[in-house]
Chain A
Amino acid sequence: MDKASNTATTSFTLDGEAVQCDPATGERLSYSLRERLSSRDVKIGCNAGDCGACTVLVDGAAVCACLMPTQQAAGRRVETQAGLVRDDPIAARLAESFQNHQAAQCGICTPGMMVSAMALLRQVPEPTPEQVQDALGGVLCRCTGYRKIIDAVVDTAALAGAPDGSGAVGSAVRRVDGLAKVSGTEAFGDDIAPPDTLVLRVIRSPHAHAGFVLGDVEEFVTDSPGVEAVLTAADVPGQNRFGVIPGFVDQPVFAERTARFRGEAVAVVIGRPDAMAAFDPESFPVTWAPLDAMATPQQALHPDAPPLNADLPDNVMCSGFVLHGDPKKALGQAEIVVAGTFTTGFVEHAYIEPEAGYATPVGDRIEIHACTQAPVMDREALEAILGWPASRIRMVPTATGGGFGSKLDVSVQPFLALGALKTGKPVRMAYSRRESMQSTTKRHPAEMSARVGATADGRLCGFEFHGDFNTGAYASWGPTVSVRVPVHASGPYRIADYRAEARAIHTNCPPSGAFRGFGVPQGAIAQESLFDELAEALNIDPLEFRIRNALGNGDETVCGQVFEQGVGIGACFEALRPAWDAGRADCDAFNKTGGHLRRGIGVAAGWYGCGNTSLPNPSTIKSGLLPDGTFVLHQGAMDVGQGANTVIAQIFAQAAGLPLEAIKLIGADTDVTPDGGKTSASRQTYVSGAAALRSGEALRARLLALVNAGPEAAIRAENGELLIEDGRQIHKVALNRMKPDTDGYVVAACETYDPPTDPLDENGQGAPYAQFGYAAHLATVEVDLHLGTVRALGFTAAHDVGQAINPLLVEGQVQGGIAQGLGMALMEEYLPGRTENLHDYLIPTIGDVPPIETLIIEEPDAHGPYGAKGLGEHVLIPTAPAILNAIYHATGVRIRHVPATPSVVHAALKEARHG
């Protein structure tokens, strides 16, 4: 009888070593590798073969470890990122190349990318970009826009791409935190907990709106082997509410009696890992009574619609308003007026790392390790939920595998804290992809109408905008969206007569929150599309029209704010001119040949105010010198892939007069690092950077003062000795003779920066931001007139960043933002209950993002560190309208809804032909 084993013990070779484990039947190889064999470099992003993060080599072939029963690996050779980089010289080179090109941003997809690349590189040592795309097509990345990954794999053999910067501000250097990402040692939210930790699973509403009754929960616990506890609203000792904006703290940790959106949590089950791996959520005792649900603002605004929140009878959560001049009169005087209605759908952040974390009780405190963009805000939420003082709660952010706005809100944190509290034991949880998509925030769908006028000589003359934003069942960052949109909907242009209003409307949808741009990208679609229509009506070149109306130094914004310096949008447009002229000519030449493929080029701009709107927004940066001569930077600005660890360190090093490599970073652990503020609103380079600059300068001044050295003196420390070289004189200070402070530093500095802003009045007039950043994109597309498919052929992106701290990081942000903008424009739409996975919800793959040329414009800002401005959100704002304008140029058809899927484009083409 040659029947193979039906015992559980499975033996195979893992990264060169013989291993054995005892998986449960049907256990995924990814789970066994991570939880039984310590290979946490294998990441889980979807458990469905959609994202490729868990890619390993089995007998040399790339497979998704989440799709292979562990027993199927018996007797085979399994290789993971960490083992490959350790043992295979090609992989070691690949890791170097990834670092050289900054091909890893957050790093969560990096294992899958590198392992997939290894399957190729072993066969084809010097692949073409196309071969790389084919080999890596099964791995999704949400940060990089893929181009740096392609560059890195292509450059593996040559290693010709090492950045040669010194580390000074303005120089391109590798990420200071890159090694862990490329070697498989980076620890994300689900990589911290010991394997035997109790596991939490959330019970969620399957209905968009439903009453519910919990059954006998105690009996369920007793009758379910391995289940230790259940959490419900009754287990919340403080307030069963969280939120991110004072006055809008409305979301329950656990719904009470009524669930208001599909995926809302009603309970948590806590059990041993084996029991929870086999747990069937259907077995939980809860009875649902589905209710009518409001899916759209239109339904929610109906006079008969029931209020979703008893305090808001009309379901209008809040609104924002800006009025400048007399738009009605101006539109009446305009030579040309264009108008249009534009709609956008829910967009999912789709970071490859689902929310995850680990909590442990420590004495009378709780420590929570989780991925996040805002550890101090997380702690504030938990203070209220637990009813505890901040001193009893420690947030230790893990590496965060992408955020893009959604990881500003708490997700797993309250469950983890309550679970640790209830059981008195360490607990862990990781959202499934479905949970992550169902329950965390989305980009607001928008219904926008606008009218814009211009004079015969092409000057803007009157602008009116109204937008309704579907804010879902709870507030989250909806108030911010409704404030931001009217302030930004003008774009970076001179518009004397302007009125804009935005409303956030409650529906039975997942909460809409922060997503790269806070509603500004939606508004830009309406505004930039209409500007193209105006230019055409006036027979003015679209770029020329924008240049003519671009905001300049000394011009008033629609909020009445005047920047005497730092307005770089004109320079962005001018920088695009050569590519624009060449691109127009290329497209026209291509289209003259006829055929069903048509090319077009489109331009669009964007601006974005960095930091909170008219609200305090400080960052604090602490630094110090240890007795052993180590310079320590408490880097509290969460790096979620965008590169704050490197940027803040470069700024600090420059200010302190130290080499970048001399700086040791300590992360945003709330016990030891002051609040760097949230990673949001494109504020970290600017605000935390400004604090880092001040901290560096203060530390330097204190060090120089020790020996009364002049301001030009050079500082270094070695072997416990501080050496200050002042001209020809070298002062030596024995650090171990100095008395350390309570943190252990012999010299320390702690500085805070808060951007100067002023409140907005009832007409939205004031000084909402201390600085704006500016951007303009060109998109070139090819449209298949038969199929309605749109392929992006290339982008040129001009960004005024004031001062590029690290040009390579700027490029990475630009490319990643454009990839997200492209997804929003062409393919992404989250539909509750329908696209709750990464094969129905489509994000761009490595074959969808064309080459991107980044033009860095440096119009220094008076407030930013070394003149630097924020960038994180600007990179996405012009992309979608540039693509829509390119589609128009190619086809003569204007698309006013995104995503412009092939079906949508085809219908519009057909209507234009027959209409």
Chain B
Amino acid sequence: MSYYAPTSLGDVWPLLAEGEARVVAGGTDLFPTQGDGPPPSALLDISRVDGLRGIDHDDDGWRIGGATTWSDIVAAPLPPAFDGLKAAALQVGSVQIQNVGTLAGNLCNASPAADGVPPLLTLEAEVALTSAGGTRRLTLTNFLRGVRQTALVPGELLTALHIPRQPTGALSSFVKLGSRRYLVISIAMVAAQIWLDEAGRIGGVRVAVGACSPVARRLFGLEQSLIGLRPSDLVSFSMASDALDTLSPIDDVRGSAEYRRAAVERLIRDALGQAVERSDG
């Protein structure tokens, strides 16, 4: 029975290597999954590790430390390309969850309904997986392998998210569909990012959908089809019949597969519309 709360990464590795301790940061997934069973025999609390919490920015982009909370994201001065991520941060669980829950934990938990994944996909985030032997960087798509499955191997810790420089003038949004106002686990969600070219047409788009496939997905085909449109076209553009084919929504207590498919189309339009609206303000 042991609780470890190292303050330096160097002290993390031997504890991780033992493989006995479960990593805890915000605890917002660890405790709920415990159910009525016994607590873990050992915990490795990474919330006090120097340098692991916070957001840094340089010419290459942003680094979000592995112990950074949703509330940290909300409070950080970030450009409009991050508005979608901020909107997601404000809708993760509740204030109580946002104050301690971390982005890294949200990724490692690898729920199909993880709120962080769609906006991070539109930001083309990468994760840094660090172990005593060094660090490897993976795209989010390569990191998230399936429902509750990631590329983390024993001895590794998700130490940071890296977000590359974003296209100039990028705007973003996030919409989440649930059956109630707060404390929502998504029926479906969409993150979008848009930037305009010099002619005021859509120069680039990124759209990602969550809770409609084992891992949230970018819709590359749809994105391509939107390039060159005018922002006003986004209200009523005709979506290709196969635009959502890469999704594989399921029936569950939150909604039917058919419903998800139909709702996602609408959410995509809403998300794109919201992203573009931000260009006015």
A residues whose Cβ falls under 8 Å from a Cβ of B? 1-6, 8, 24-28, 47-50, 52, 55, 61-64, 66-69, 71-72, 74, 116, 119, 133-135, 137-140, 277-282, 432, 434-435, 786-789, 826-827, 829, 831, 834-835, 837, 839-840, 842, 844-848, 901-903, 906-907, 910
Contacts and interface: CB of A to CB of B under 8 A. Distances in A.
A202 to B, nearest CB: 10
A847 B5 contact: no
Nearest to A434: B36
Interface stretch (B174-182, B195-203, B222-230, B273-281): B174-182
Given A2-B7, A137-B182, A434-B35, A903 B255 contact: yes
Interface string B236-276: 00000000000000000111101100110011000000000
B180 A279 contact: no
Given A26-B43, A72-B45, A835-B253, A6 B24 contact: no
Nearest to A841: B253
A363 B41 CA distance: 41
Interface string B24-48: 1011101110011111111101011
A116 B99 CA distance: 12
24 contacts: A2-B8, A25-B2, A26-B40, A28-B31, A48-B31, A49-B32, A50-B32, A52-B94, A55-B96, A61-B71, A62-B99, A69-B43, A69-B45, A133-B181, A137-B94, A140-B183, A278-B39, A279-B38, A845-B180, A845-B182, A848-B181, A902-B255, A903-B254, A903-B259
B96 A64 contact: yes
Contact of A787 (B32, B43, B253, B263): B263
Nearest to B35: A434
Q: What range describes how many residues of B lie at the interface?
A: 35 or more
Nearest to B182: A137
Contact of A25 (B28, B36, B41): B41
A910 B262 contact: yes
B100 interface: yes
B38 A62 contact: no
A388 to B, nearest CB: 31
A67 B28 contact: yes
B204 interface: no
Contact of A24 (B1, B180, B187, B262): B1
B7 to A, nearest CB: 5
Contact of A282 (B26, B37, B267): B37
Contacts of B41: 25-26
Contacts of B180: 827, 842, 844-845, 847-848
Given A3-B11, A25-B1, A842-B180, 12 more contacts: A1-B11, A26-B41, A27-B39, A48-B32, A134-B95, A137-B94, A137-B181, A787-B177, A827-B179, A835-B253, A842-B179, A903-B255
B220 interface: no
B55 to A, nearest CB: 18
A831 B39 contact: no
Given A25-B43, A279-B38, A5 B256 contact: no
Contact of A6 (B2, B27, B96, B181): B2
Contact of A788 (B24, B43, B48, B259): B259
B97 interface: yes
Given A2-B8, A68-B100, A72-B27, A846 B182 contact: yes
Contact of A435 (B36, B96, B100, B258): B36
Nearest to A27: B39
Given A48-B31, A69-B43, A63 B256 contact: no
Contacts of B26: 67
B203 to A, nearest CB: 28
Contacts of B182: 133, 137-138, 845-848
A200 to B, nearest CB: 13
A903 B187 contact: yes
Contacts of B36: 281, 432, 434-435
B6 interface: yes
Contact of B31 (A49, A71, A434, A827): A49
A435 B262 CA distance: 36
Interface in B46-88: 47-48, 71
A847 B181 contact: yes
